[in-house]
Chain A
Amino acid sequence: MSMRETLHAEWTKLRTVPSTFWLLLAVIVVTVALGLVADAVARCPSAGCGLDPARTSLAGVYLGQAIVAVLAVVAVSGEYGSGLIRVTLTAMPRRAGVLAAKAVTVTGATLSAGVPAVLGSLLAGRLVLPGHGFTAAHGRPPLSPDDGAVLRAAAGTVLYLGLIALLSLGVAAAVRDAAAAIGTVLGLLYLLPLLTTVLGGSRLARHLERLSPMTAGLAVQATTGLRGLPIAPWAGLGVLAAWATAALLIGGLLLHFRDA
């Protein structure tokens, strides 16, 4: 089977599971809605209020990423749950190719939901935030596509969601069980940053902020206070990319060498 056919097969599987559509819709709705809540409560009463308008309106990603993770995990673990994986691997014996095809289709689907989610969030922020003190006078001009930093935040957040999908895919290929895989992914995302609390204000805590996939990856959303970030925006996304690559590598190797 050629790579094109493998891709086509994976795309058909993803497309015909009804949950895919609902999960993608949920990514958009949850991300925009939570962003809107953050916009609605954010106040910037004076210059240097410490709130970043792009970060605030994109806050929905903190929750949206969990749904992306479910989508990606189910794409792999679902096959193990139903035993379909044995059929898949019989039809397409090149296992690395199967994982690659899954990565392409799932990431594509995630990006297609990520773009409207991010654009919707930023649009909501542009409409709501100026009424809450986010004005040019306070050093927080309205979110605009002319602003390079806002563009970086937008593109970076879409890519962030894509990388979360890849990370989850790799973990699911390694762990196989859906519930355990999603637990591992959510633990990596939410738990690692909380560890900085245990470590106090120490050097280790600072390192952990640079290394944990969520805090590093979401540094790309920053448009103000860049110097105070634990890691530079694109470098942070690079850290997440490294996590995703490592997960895919481990998942791919285990898929290759293990019985299905």
Chain B
Amino acid sequence: MTAPTTTRQPRVRARRAGFGALLRAEWTKFRTVRGWTIGMIVAVLVTAGIALLDHSSCGGVTAPGGADVPGTGCSAPVGPDGKAVTDAFSFVHRRLDGDGDITVRMASLIGGRGPAGLQPWSKAGLIVKAGTRPGSAYAALIVTAGHGVRMQYDYTGDIKAPPGAVTAAAAPRWLRLVRSGDAITGYQSADGVRWSAAGTVRLHGLPPTVQAGMFATSPASAQGGSTQDGSTQDGSAQGGSAQSLGGSGGSGARTLATARFDHIGLRGAWPPGAWTGTQVGGRPSPDTGFRQAAGTVTVTGSGDIAPYVPAVDGGGVAVERTLLGAFGGLIAVIVVAALFMTAEHRRGLLRVTFTAVPGRGRVLAAKAIVIGSVTFVAGLAGSTAAVLLGERLLRSNGDFVLPAGTFTEIRAVAGTAALLAVAAVLALAVGTILRHGAGAVTAVVTVMVVPYFFASPLSVLPAGVADWLLRVTPAAAFAVQQTTPRYPQVSAPYTPGNGYFPLPPWAGFAVLCGYTVLALGLATVLLRRRDA
């Protein structure tokens, strides 16, 4: 009974050991070449080390004399979901102790003089807010200067009201905001008689006592400045000055919005009292505030109620800035991975390898697995250290690191390691195709680093080209590092130079993977056809 098992077992083991032995052979080759081990160590050190150069950019600018001026206002309030927010507006409010509603006629919305005029996202209307603390929960029925009537809530929420009877932007319009428990519903009307719903939002955990009333605010003009007027779409990479390099984005000019409300009517649990004016967030200024006369309330405000966007609000540093060292690591990894194959060609070792293992595709697969795994581990070590060190350093410099959320940070770190690993496999495949180390390194660096360089603020190419390059080249994969989303309700230069990639993170990574699969396929075919 035992005889068959003893004869069969070794055979099974031998078959299984085939690829395992191949992997071990390739791993032995890799770890015994001193230069390659040094190359990987260099990759880790560069990836982590460049984060140590992270320098305060927190609104800090270089004064004409050359001294660094420490920034002011290097922080932002944190919204209900833990993300940084912008919360600055003029608030005319009263206490509401439960359910109730407010109805007003908004007679006009006008801007300040000259450059302080209305912006498309200048806004005014009715708001219910948990308190006057910046960053507290809210829901608002908003009339914008250029984007119609909307329901916005908790900074990121934005619902466009269905087109109702009210169309003309300048016409007086009636607004009503109803609070009922957690639910807040906005209505609009052209005449105060026929109402249409603008939207309902639920704010979970909204306290019974809230502040409610009217508000006005207006964001800074979209990236003003003499070099870019009218051409922010295609000229911003060029116009991005040295200041905007570090994410201390130059914000445009301050603007003002003034809204006039009358026919104010309150129903529900409003205790007796008068309207109070509060400047929420931002600095109080003589030209903002509110006036009340004969049943009319006029509010002037400046700022925004929106997610925090570093390209507009300045100061904040996105987590991925600590990962810039991955570019240096990438070059080292590409060199090692290309050599992992081309060195065998050059030394003639490949003939020995193929004599020992005739399955050439399997040799390539084993090499890809070894170089990919080693690079992933090295990349993970480097990028984890970079983020931990970089964030700590930035914070100790007084910089404001944008809270990205744990999952997003892990995605950026692991994504960077995966990017390096796949790029290494790409370099291995290209090295197999070209059989020339220098050629392979140049080719892969050209398609991975140069497009990113063209997308950086240093580039001479218009942002449109950079955008396109970061869609079609393997450099699209750097999108895995982006931790700051773009928001339609904030006008900002969402260019690659400011850290916004055209593709979503995993789609960009998929572009790199696609190229790598193609290159591996071609390499396998060529490896089988050609003499070693």
Contacts and interface: CB of A to CB of B under 8 A. Distances in A.
Interface of A: 37-38, 41-43, 45-46, 48-52, 55-56, 59, 62-63, 66-67, 69-70, 73-74, 77, 81, 177-183, 186-187, 190-191, 193-206, 209, 215, 228, 230
Contacts of B239: 50
Contacts of A195: 50, 53, 324
B235 A51 contact: yes
Interface of B: 35, 39, 50-51, 53-57, 60-62, 66-68, 226-231, 234-235, 238-239, 241-248, 321, 324-325, 327-328, 331-332, 334-335, 338-339, 342, 346, 436-442, 445-446, 449-450, 452-454, 456-458, 460-462, 464-465
A199 B52 CA distance: 10
Contacts of B325: 198
A185 to B, nearest CB: 9
A37 B465 contact: yes
B288 to A, nearest CB: 29
Given A50-B238, A190-B453, A177 B227 contact: no
Nearest to B439: A70
A179 B54 contact: no
B453 A194 contact: yes
A55 B464 CA distance: 17
A59 B462 CA distance: 11
Given A186-B331, A198-B53, 4 more contacts: A178-B437, A182-B335, A197-B321, A202-B55
A38 B460 CA distance: 8
Contacts, number: 181
Among A63, A66, A67, find the residue whose CB has the most chain B CB atoms closer than 10 A: A66
A204 B226 CA distance: 26
A197 B324 contact: yes
Contact of A177 (B35, B324, B465): B35
Contacts of B446: 63, 66
Contacts of A56: 460-461
**Main secondary structure on A side of the interface with B:** helix
A200 B460 contact: no
B246 A205 contact: yes
A64 B425 CA distance: 25
A59 B454 CA distance: 10
Nearest to B462: A41
B62 A203 contact: yes
Contacts of A48: 226-227
Contacts of B335: 179-180, 182-183
Given A193-B453, A194-B324, A203-B67, A66 B445 contact: yes
Contacts of A46: 229-231
Contacts of B454: 62
